Amino acid sequence: MEIRKDSIDGIYLDRLAKSKVLMSIFLLFFIILFSRIAYIQIVRGERYLELSQENRLSREMIHPERGLIYDRAGRIIAQNRPSYSLYITPRIIPRQKDLVTQLSDVVTAEGAPLFHKHMLQEHFRNNPPQKDALSFFNKEPSVGNFKKELKNLKTESGTPLFNESFLDSLFAHSAINEYSLQHALRANSLQFVKKRLLKIRNREGEPLVDPDFLHDRIQTAIQNPRGKTLIAEDISIEFVSIIQENSSLLPGITIGTESRREYPYGKDLFHIIGYISEINSEELTQFSDKGYYRGDKIGKAGIEAQYDSLLKGEKGWAFIERNSIGTNLGILEDMPYIKPKAGKNLFLSVDAELQRMIARQFHDTLQGAVVAMNPQNGEIYALYSNPSFDANTFSLAEEEVKQNWNDAQQDPRKPLMNKTITANYSPGSTFKLITALAGLESESITPTEYMEKPCTGGMRFGNRYYRCWYEPGHGHLTVYDAIKQSCNVYFYQLGLMLGDDVINNYAQLASLGVRTGIDIPGERAGYLSGRIQHNLRHAHRGPGWTWTRGLILNLAIGQAQDLTPLQIAMIPTALSGYDSLYTPRILSEIRSPENAYIRSTEKTTSASLDFDSSSVNAVKEGMWRTVNAPGGTGWRSRHDIIPVGGKTGTAQNPHGENHAIYVGAAPIKNPEIVVSVVLANAGSGGSVAAPFAKTVFDYYFSQTSEGRTTLEKFKDRDSEGWTQ
Amino acid sequence: MKQYLLKGKFDLVFFLTSLILWSIGLAQIYSAASIHFFTHQIMWIILGICLILLIVTIPTVFFYKIAQWYYYVTIILLITILFSGESAMGAVRWLSVGNFRLQPSEFGKIGLLLMLSWYLSKRSISFYRLKSMIIPALIIAIPFILVMQQPDLGTALIFLTLPLPLFYWSGMSLVQMFYLISPVISLILSAIPLILSFYADSDTEVSIQASLPWGIFVFLLLISYYFLRPPLKIIIISLVLSITSATMTNVIWNNTLQDYQKTRVVSFINPQADPRGAGYQVIQSMIALGSGQEYGKGYLKGSQVNLQYIPEAHTDFIFSVLGEQFGLAGCTLVLLLYILIIARALYSTRNIRNRFANLLLVGAASMMAFHILINISMVVGMMPVTGLPLPFLSYGGSFTITIAVLVGIAMNARGDIANY
């Protein structure tokens, strides 16, 4: 193989030129780099040298303000307050000096050392001082007691360390530089810092920290001397100022500012707002791409969890300059800086005062839930579950949080559980509205038609006798009166006419047995009975539990289903007579940290309801009669002016007292508010639950602007029937 | 032996300069990393010296003969690594062979140098004859795509830059080079307003001035068509590609990229904008470098180094270790030594008739220069942190061997004069 060769003569000059061009290009870049290096090292050198001194520069995260939460009337229901915590960084605390160093650092007014170091060393070798003499100054050193303390110093054998006459002559000749004395004798070992911290008391004489707790924390801190260890959480502003005044005596102690969440409505809104708490490792891996860091607070339930990404804001980063004892000197200029962005403010559809009014009516022992919502767009007005928990607990110091949290978790009444969306109750007679609707829609019955068999206090089906709640019997009934008097026998017959599939078809349209899609996490789907569902659920229990037609009777009167209080509220919502069923939602508007409008949430349709208006009106008439006609079971929810429609329910509870249930809508012609009340083990729906609903209607039509407008309209009218 | 040193290809200047630089590097590694790295590096350097002495004795024609086969082997290694490599720092770069961990991308650098020199020594190429560009483009593209898969951006950058001086040497004029890289220039300049507007608050408009550099570039391109009269197809290709690349940059930036991806791009291009991640490294490296001032803090007295504030101090950021300890004086000395090696290699070409040896010399010098320029730009915060070591100073087995081979090849090619 022959290598191609260029002729020397022709190419020499070309080569020379090309090598010069290449070299010039490279040189040009080298010169640019050299100027950059020289700029960094000479022009900016001083600054960088300063920055390179130990502990001067740290890269720190700046936490953004979490977004605020408001209710529908603009009341603040979740806000932030500043809180101060103390941290210790053992590495910053200077080591304690030995006696020789301390004494030899003291200088006279002329600047000459008081003691000569090698003389001291010589002296101490011959007369070893006592052990505790190594740090003989516990109080602020002054010239006055310096001499006194020196005289008190003893050797190991107990004789004075310094000859008294020597000290007298020494002090007679030289005046001590007070600054050097303070500087030299200030012993800053960890033990001294600890002692000083324990001495700090506020005006009431309360100590800053508990001695045992501080001891534990310092032991932890020693394991990680470079890092910051928390020693006191959420301290008062008074302590902050004491510590700042004495910061020179407390090296390595830094004050951290953080913001804590505060919920002005406390217990009343716990299940809606939820709470925030430190992110756990599971969530860290789950949301690894969302920019969370260990130690961040994250929403754990309710709105705080659902909209955490909106509320949390974006973290800032900055290079913070700190002096040698850890004091923050501020954000470093001309260094990269990412400003934190505060989280968005959320406006909810909830009415905090309504929620509070509902909460006040509950005894702590009563378990139950109340839901109020607008059927025209799905906005939730109230969503209360009792008993509740005060989320402000999470803003207390760690120890108290743990205690309260454990108590709440072990409470058999489950205060942490949001019963409105997770607890299952039988809807009881309120479900009869759905059965009635199914019958009318499928044209099995007409509104004015009487049911075949009269109610005689019960009916026989198969080999069993199924009772009505009213033993004397209701006699012949139309659908209106069957609803009004909640007659079981009527609905047993209707159920048998329709079958489980037809009834469940209509139930599912109303979001029963499926998640409603409300915008807080943890919702449960509930359970509608029926041939397939029943057999699936009881498959493991053997042949005795298979579906029989007799179970349709239970299904038709609402004793077979498990529904959440929110789903129970969907029953009157579906019967409002509007074209669509809207997904319940709590968030209504998102605003910027300055409360400038960003966007509002649109109502979303979860099912379109193309019911015949005559069937819906017939059920509504029944509901109206339930409340307003003589003998109706729901008369306790009657409103003076507004025509209310409702349905009571009493769910049989094999384990104890019956559950009281009520659903209602007002004004019944074009409902603006629907309510569901579920009170566990409280008795009958008509007597216990209906009055609860009345207070909600009263509030709505007197305290809210929308309600008052409607009230005004109705005042002018004759309020006898609702259809006029 | 004396004969060999004086009349053979061995070059004392190259050799001594290398030894001095290696010693300086060893001193930095000792101060920046554990003794383990120090002893390993000594081993690698000894191996490197042996390689130099070995390569010098081989006739240049041998490299000519093995060039393409060596290239094929490195390509196979690069493919192998994609399937069975060990990962380091999130990127797959290592290939274990017994007790050794090889970094095929390092051998790929030599492979590309040999292959391009071999090909270009047989044919001269011109951008105006597009057909002549096809095979060189393939030779570059294959290893480039393979290292991008790892991903090893530093090496990929070397694969892209190394061909430029070789093309220039084998017949391309500066004007042709300009047309060749015009789409890349267009892409970079068109990104300026986008990135500036990303920094700016939403309420401040990014002024038209940000688009000015791109405007000037297009103007120059058009002017050059008028005065230099390149073939029509070149006009079309360079103009279309330039405008397409600028448009694509805008389209992708505005429509495809999410905000967090934009942040990533921005912080890659300007690490100082982001104090997390890469920004932290660069800032600590600049503090180290800057705090060295004129004469440095003294050996083993660099606080940034001792407190391990500089990540990757013994590899990619070794230059800031040097800067902190020896200041501008130390940096200048090292830069001068680099310039000496590069200049000596480049100026040796004038006496050599052998085209292949010529290209080898230019390639070896350029590859070293690119490594140095890219690495130091990165350390002083002028370039994205892509991960590329500094010749002679950085720790690294495969890399030290690559540098030794480059020195050996440079010596060998330079000495080719003796054969004629």
Burial of B83 from C-beta contacts in 10 A (0-12 / 13-18 / 19+): exposed
Burial of A406 from C-beta contacts in 10 A (0-12 / 13-18 / 19+): exposed
- Residue B24, pLDDT > 70, answer yes
CA distance A448 to A257: 71
Residue A721 CB contacts under 8 Å (≥ 6 apart), including other chains = A624, A643
Is any Cβ of chain B less than 8 angstroms from the Cβ of A7?
A: yes
**Residue range B46-73: average pLDDT?**
92
CA distance A32 to chain B (A): 9
Mutate one of B306, B353, B361 to test the A interface: name it (highest A CB count within 10 A): B353
Chain A: residue whose CA lies nearest to B286: A40
Least confident of A98-112, A309-323, B18-32, B43-57: A98-112
Annotate B33-86 with DSSP letters as a single string: S-HHHHHHHHHHHHHHHHHHHHHHHS-HHHHHHHHHHHHHHHHHHHHHHHHHPE
Mutate one of A24, A41, A49, A594 to test the B interface: name it (highest B CB count within 10 A): A41
Is any Cβ of chain B less than 8 angstroms from the Cβ of A5?
A: yes
- Residue A333, pLDDT > 80, answer no
CA distance A261 to chain B (A): 27
Helix, strand or coil for residue A624? helix
CA distance A302 to chain B (A): 27
- CB–CB of A41 and B354 under 8 A? no
Contact A49, B291 (CB under 8 A): yes
More confident residue, A543 or A429: A429
- CB–CB of A5 and B353 under 8 A? yes
Interface of B with A in 315-354 (CB under 8 A): 323-324, 327-328, 331-332, 335, 338-339, 342-343, 346-347, 349-350, 353-354
Chain A: residue whose CA lies nearest to B172: A18
**Residue range B76-98: average pLDDT?**
69
CA distance A293 to chain B (A): 13
Is any Cβ of chain B less than 8 angstroms from the Cβ of A128?
A: no
- CB–CB of A45 and B293 under 8 A? yes
Helix, strand or coil for residue B251? helix
> Which residue among B343, B354, B380 sits closest to A3, beta carbon to beta carbon?
B354
CA distance A359 to A663: 18
The band of B6, judged by pLDDT with boundaries at 50, 70 and 90, is very low
For B98-115, the pLDDT digits (tens) are: 666 678 888 899 999 999
Chain B: residue whose CA lies nearest to A336: B273
Report DSSP state, residue B94: E
A412-to-A175, A387, A391, A418, B332 alpha-carbon distances in Å: 75, 10, 19, 14, 77
Is any Cβ of chain A less than 8 angstroms from the Cβ of B121?
A: yes
- Note the pLDDT of residue A185: 66
- Residue A430, pLDDT > 60, answer yes
Helix, strand or coil for residue B20? helix
Amino acid at B187: L
> Which residue among A8, A12, A48 sits closest to B287, beta carbon to beta carbon?
A48
| CB contacts, 8 Å: A51 with chain B | 287, 291
Amino acid at A568: I
Residue A386 CB contacts under 8 Å (≥ 6 apart), including other chains = A359, A362, A364, A366, A367, A368, A369, A419
CA distance A405 to B378: 52
Percent of chain A with pLDDT over 70: 90
| CB contacts, 8 Å: B366 with chain A | 22, 26
- Note the pLDDT of residue B38: 92
- Residue A455, pLDDT > 50, answer yes
Q: What is the mean pLDDT of chain A?
A: 84
For A370-419, the pLDDT digits (tens) are: 999 999 999 999 999 988 888 888 777 677 778 888 888 888 888 888 99
- Note the pLDDT of residue B17: 96
Helix, strand or coil for residue A688? helix
CA distance A353 to A698: 13
The band of A6, judged by pLDDT with boundaries at 50, 70 and 90, is low
CA distance A723 to A667: 11
Is any Cβ of chain B less than 8 angstroms from the Cβ of A527?
A: no
Nearest to A231, CA basis, from A127, A92, A89: A89
- CB–CB of B283 and A319 under 8 A? yes
CA distance A361 to A368: 11
CA distance B335 to chain A (A): 8
> Which residue among A19, A36, A47 sits closest to B380, beta carbon to beta carbon?
A36
- CB–CB of B328 and A27 under 8 A? no
Q: Does B151 sit behind a cis peptide bond, omega within 30 degrees of 0 on the bond before it?
A: yes
More confident residue, A57 or A91: A91
Helix, strand or coil for residue A262? strand
- Residue A137, pLDDT > 70, answer no
| CB contacts, 8 Å: B354 with chain A | 3, 5
**Residue range B32-53: average pLDDT?**
91
How large is the angle between the packed helices B212-228 and B232-251, nearest 10 degrees?
170
Annotate B318-329 with DSSP letters as a single string: HHHHHHHHHHHH
A50-68: b or e for each residue (b if 16 or more CB lie within 10 Å)?
Answer: ebbeebbbebebebbbbbb
- CB–CB of A49 and B290 under 8 A? yes
Helix H, strand E, coil C: the string for A137-181 is CCCCCCHHHHHHHHHHCEECCCCECCCHHHHHHHHHHCCECHHHH
| CB contacts, 8 Å: B291 with chain A | 45, 48-49, 51-52
Strands (E), A428-546: 458-461, 464-467
Q: Which residue has the tokens 């949001």?
A: A418
More confident residue, A334 or B370: B370
Contact A561, A431 (CB under 8 A): yes
CA distance A253 to A195: 13
| CB contacts, 8 Å: B168 with chain A | 18, 21-22
CA distance A471 to A682: 22
CA distance A184 to A186: 6
The band of A328, judged by pLDDT with boundaries at 50, 70 and 90, is low
- Note the pLDDT of residue A547: 87
Interface of A with B in 313-372 (CB under 8 A): 317-319, 335-338
The band of B228, judged by pLDDT with boundaries at 50, 70 and 90, is confident
**Residue range A706-711: average pLDDT?**
90
CA B267, chain centre distance (Å): 21
Is any Cβ of chain A less than 8 angstroms from the Cβ of B273?
A: yes
Interface of B with A in 172-211 (CB under 8 A): 174
For B260-288, the pLDDT digits (tens) are: 667 767 766 666 666 655 667 787 888 88
CA B164, chain centre distance (Å): 12
| CB contacts, 8 Å: A45 with chain B | 290-294
- CB–CB of B290 and A34 under 8 A? no
- Residue A1, pLDDT > 50, answer no
Q: Which two tokens mark A189?
A: 């070992």
- CB–CB of B273 and A57 under 8 A? no
**Residue range A138-156: average pLDDT?**
71
| CB contacts, 8 Å: A319 with chain B | 275, 283
- Note the pLDDT of residue B420: 47
Percent of chain B with pLDDT over 90: 40
More confident residue, B271 or A480: A480
**Residue range A588-603: average pLDDT?**
90
CA distance A638 to chain B (A): 56
| CB contacts, 8 Å: A4 with chain B | 121-122, 355-356
Sign of CA dihedral A187, A190, A193, A199: negative
Q: Does A387 sit behind a cis peptide bond, omega within 30 degrees of 0 on the bond before it?
A: yes
- Residue A544, pLDDT > 50, answer yes
Annotate B166-222 with DSSP letters as a single string: HHHHTT--HHHHHHHHHHHHHHHHHHHHHHHHHHS-TTSPPPGGGGHHHHHHHHHHH
Chain A: residue whose CA lies nearest to B320: A37
CA distance B83 to B78: 9
Sign of CA dihedral A15, A19, A25, A28: negative
CA distance B80 to chain A (A): 31
Amino acid at B103: Q
Alpha helical stretches, state H, A527-659? 531-537, 550-556, 565-574, 613-628
- CB–CB of B275 and A338 under 8 A? yes
Is any Cβ of chain A less than 8 angstroms from the Cβ of B298?
A: no
CA distance B59 to chain A (A): 12
CA distance B379 to chain A (A): 10
CA A388, chain centre distance (Å): 14
CA distance A551 to A530: 8
CA distance A192 to A181: 18
**Other Cβ atoms within 10 Å of A297 Cβ, number:** 21
Chain B: residue whose CA lies nearest to A5: B354
A669-695: b or e for each residue (b if 16 or more CB lie within 10 Å)?
Answer: bebbbbbbbbbbebebbbebbbebbbb
- CB–CB of A33 and B291 under 8 A? no
Residue A260 CB contacts under 8 Å (≥ 6 apart), including other chains = A80, A81, A82, A83, A234, A395
Chain A: residue whose CA lies nearest to B335: A30
| CB contacts, 8 Å: B68 with chain A | none
- Note the pLDDT of residue B371: 96
- CB–CB of A23 and B342 under 8 A? yes
CA distance A337 to chain B (A): 7
Q: Which two tokens mark A44?
A: 């900016």
Chain A: residue whose CA lies nearest to B66: A1
**Residue range A574-579: average pLDDT?**
90
